[in-house]
Amino acid sequence: MTTSPQQLDLTFTAPIEKDGAFATFLTVPDSAEVLGTQRAVKVGGTIDGHEFAATLMPSGAGPHWLPLRAAICRAIGKGLAGDEVTVQLRQRLS
């Protein structure tokens, strides 16, 4: 079943977090309330002005995690734990 994207308007600034050597992610504040679910949700938007699409993953504790791929980290010139980024979620794709 295909659904059309829904508009979102969520902008936030958050520090990059790391879990081990490979997991790089952001915690999306108030995501369960804004999205109306604690399940995985595909979204699109910008990180520091660079377009991206990703799947927000449930953390199990309330907010979702936004995984950061190496390509977006290179594009924005950030990727260390504690680096601050500004995210604008524009579309819910699922």
Averaged over successive runs of 10 residues, the pLDDT of the chain (94 residues) comes to 80 95 91 93 98 95 93 96 98 93
Give strand pairing partners of 19: 23
The residue extents of the domains of the chain are 6-92
How far, in Å, CA of 75 to CA of 49, rounded? Answer: 10
This prediction has a pTM of 0.90
Query: For residue 1, what pLDDT is reported?
Result: 47
Cβ neighbours of residue 8 under 8 Å, at least 6 residues apart? 34, 43, 45, 89, 90, 91, 92
Homologous superfamily of 6-92 in CATH?
A: AF2212/PG0164-like (2.40.30.100)
Residue 82 DSSP code: T
> Six-digit token pair at 50?
């660079």
